[in-house]
C-alpha cells in the first residue's frame, strides 16, 4: 500500500498495482487506453473513481488518461 496526497490535502491509500499504473505517468503525461493491458485499464478506472486520474476523449475520439495534480508521499 502507498499513500497519495491530493491537491486538497486529502491522503488516499492506493494499492501497489495502482501505484505501478500511476508510475507510467512519470514517463508520459497522457496515456491512451488502448496502450494499457486489460488489467491496467481496470486499475486506471479505479484510479479515476478515486479522483487520481482523469478519463477523457482526445480529438480523434480515443479514450485517454491523464494524471490529476497530486503529490506522492
Four-residue CA torsion sign, 33, 39, 44, 48: positive
For the chain, what are the domain ranges? 2-72
What letter does residue 37 receive in the DSSP assignment? -
Taking only the tens place, the pLDDT of each residue in 28-68 is: 999 999 999 999 999 999 999 998 999 999 999 999 999 98
As a CATH number, domain 2-72 is 1.10.10.10
- Angle value at C-alpha 24, between 19 and 30, nearest 5 degrees: 125
Residue 44 Cα to chain centre, angstroms: 5
Determine the Cα–Cα distance for residues 70 and 21; give it in Å rounded to an integer: 14
Helix axes 16-27, 38-49, angle to 10 degrees: 90
Confidence of residue 71 (pLDDT cuts 50, 70, 90): very low
Give the global pTM. 0.84
Which tens digit of pLDDT belongs to each residue from 2-18? Answer: 888 777 778 889 999 99
Amino acid at each position: 500500500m502507498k499513500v497519495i496526497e491530493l491537491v486538497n490535502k486529502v491522503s488516499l491509500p492506493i494499492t501497489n498495482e495502482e501505484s505501478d499504473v500511476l508510475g507510467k505517468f512519470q514517463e508520459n503525461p497522457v496515456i491512451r487506453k488502448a496502450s494499457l493491458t486489460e488489467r491496467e485499464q481496470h486499475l486506471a478506472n479505479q484510479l479515476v473513481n478515486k479522483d487520481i486520474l482523469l478519463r477523457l476523449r482526445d480529438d480523434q475520439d480515443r479514450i485517454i488518461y491523464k494524471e490529476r495534480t497530486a503529490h506522492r508521499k
